[in-house]
Amino acid sequence: MSMPFDGLWSAHSSNRLDPKYHLFQREAARPVPPNWKKVPIRTVMRRRLQVAEPEKEPDGQFKVMTISQTGDIRLRAAGKGNNPPEWLGSYLEDMPSTWFQAKAGDFVYSSIDLWKGCIAVVPADFDGGLVTKEFPIYEVVEPDLSVEFLQCLLRSRYYQRAFRAITTGHSNRRRTQSPDFEALEIAYPNDRDEQSRLIAGILRARENKRVSADALYEQLIEFSNLIDGRGAEQLPEVESEQAPEVD
């Protein structure tokens, strides 16, 4: 690929000379399927900047979220590294982070690990969950776009490659900046019924996986109880050493 240097220099506000960024821009210029709409993410999603006030509930227990590379939201481990022993309002108040509150149906992604697949929809049981500024929150504002379809779309191979193309930095602290995320163009069918048809198999397989995982867990608990008679007791989760989450 070749391009004039002034175009290379002015293509992004940072004047980045980043081959993967510019090469992907060429691929992104390809036409989309008929009856599909192509728009920047900022036109279908809006940043939610609802600052939480945990200091008003010093004894309240809060759900602090983190995101796995499988696109699932889970509780951020308390008592690990610099994390407090519990996610109580009094502990959160003493931390230097600003906490933001998400609502069920919002999108949350890790600015550090978006390129690894860390983007998810907030489920109902995490409604009101908290994150730091490293996890931008977005609400879907386009009524013609299904949240379920958008989740599948942003976790598809093409968009995972797109996130890698717009991520900047080095080492384990590469980040996706919010303006780059919002400027990324997405394409989707105009018809919600068509969106549902395209992802029906994915949603069905995802539900089957959840049911199978629950059945496996129940069988393992039953077998474990037969061995040691300790009922449904669970061992504490032990995570592998990873780079700490920083704000």
DSSP string, 197-245: HHHHHHHHHHHHHHHHHHHHHHHHHHHHHHHH--TT--PPP-PPP-PPP
Q: Is the pLDDT of residue 240 over 50?
A: no
pLDDT digits (tens, 9 = 90+) for 203-237: 999 899 889 989 999 999 999 999 998 888 887 65
pLDDT of the residue at 109: 94
Q: How confident is the model at residue 153 (pLDDT cuts 50, 70, 90)?
A: very high
Question: In 30-59, which positions are buried (b, 16+ CB within 10 angstroms) versus exposed (e)?
Answer: eeeeeeeeeeebbebbeebeeebebeeeee
pLDDT of the residue at 236: 64
pTM of the model: 0.82
Domain 31-190, second-level architecture:
Alpha-Beta Complex (3.90)
pLDDT digits (tens, 9 = 90+) for 19-72: 888 888 888 878 888 889 999 999 999 999 999 988 889 899 999 999 988 888
Q: How confident is the model at residue 241 (pLDDT cuts 50, 70, 90)?
A: very low
Output Rg (C-alpha) for the chain, integer angstroms. Answer: 21
